[in-house]
Amino acid sequence: MRYLILADIHSNVEAFRAVLEDAEGGEGYHHLWCLGDIVGYGPDPEECVQLLRSLDPVCVAGNHDWAAVGKLDVSQFNADAAAAASWTAQQLSPESKTYLSGLPLSPQEGDFTLVHGSPRDPIWEYVISTPIARLCFAEFQTLYCLVGHSHIPHFYEHRPQTGDCFLRAMPKGEPLMLGDTRLIINPGSVGQPRDGNPAASYLIYDSEARSLRHYRALYDVKATQQKMRRHGLPYRLIERLGFGW
């Protein structure tokens, strides 16, 4: 079986469609796992929720999903994110809000635990340093944990003998082979990449080959930016898509 692993779609339906087409035209996939933040920031929240639901995914809740349905106070967001969250809440249908409200926090799927932030704090914590990753390895039971939230594709390796952790970049052009080493893995973001590459980021997990492959899908960034301008979304959120930060 192959699993398409996505995170942080952020209401960017152009990027989301580009990833689906890229994955279908490449290895193909049978199941979809989504690591939260379907909405927030971008111009097409309702379209993204509907498209995601049509693919019958296993999907967890992100902080932006909770903000859009009133489960989290937007005063905890920066001004741009709060403005986008308030706008997003007005665009979502009651049905989509019910779906976002009911998303689980940390389901287990085979060898994987799925969360948005971290296994310690699935909504808010960023796993963006080895000291935090080290603490997080004690907080999930499976071999591997998939996280989103930072929008940066990378992974952490755990050494059980010493408790040490190592930060690794995703291998380019070759798969990451999965073994007994416990890992925390971030596929990067579909709709708002922050690693200096504006192309949408995703992973394919092949459960027979025990491998993860990292891909980037180019999409029409300008089309997304134009829609954001039309909706009066914050300038910084529009500009950053062109740079991937």
Give least dist CB 192 to Zn ion, A.
Answer: 7
For residue 185, the cross-strand partners are: 146, 155
Give least dist CB 164 to Zn ion, A.
Answer: 28
Handedness of CA 43, 47, 50, 53 (dihedral sign): negative
Residue 29 · residue 3 · CB < 8 Å: yes
Q: Which of these segments, 8-16, 104-112, 166-174, 198-206, binds Zn ion (CB under 5 A)?
A: 8-16
Give least dist CB 161 to Zn ion, A.
Answer: 34
**Residue placing its CB nearer to Zn ion in the complex, 14 or 37:** 37
**Residue placing its CB nearer to Zn ion in the complex, 154 or 182:** 154
Q: Are strands 154-158 and 112-114 parallel, antiparallel or unpaired?
A: unpaired
Among 3, 4, 5, 8, binds Zn ion (CB under 5 A): 8
**Can residue 125 be called a binding residue for Zn ion (CB under 5 A)?**
no
Among 14, 37, 44, 65, binds Zn ion (CB under 5 A): 37
Task: List, as one string, the DSSP characters of 50-97.
Answer: HHHHHT--EE---HHHHHHTTSS-GGGS-HHHHHHHHHHHHHS-HHHH
Count CA atoms within 13 Å of residue 87 on its CB side. 21
Q: Which residues of this protein are in contact with Zn ion, per CB under 5 A?
A: 8, 37
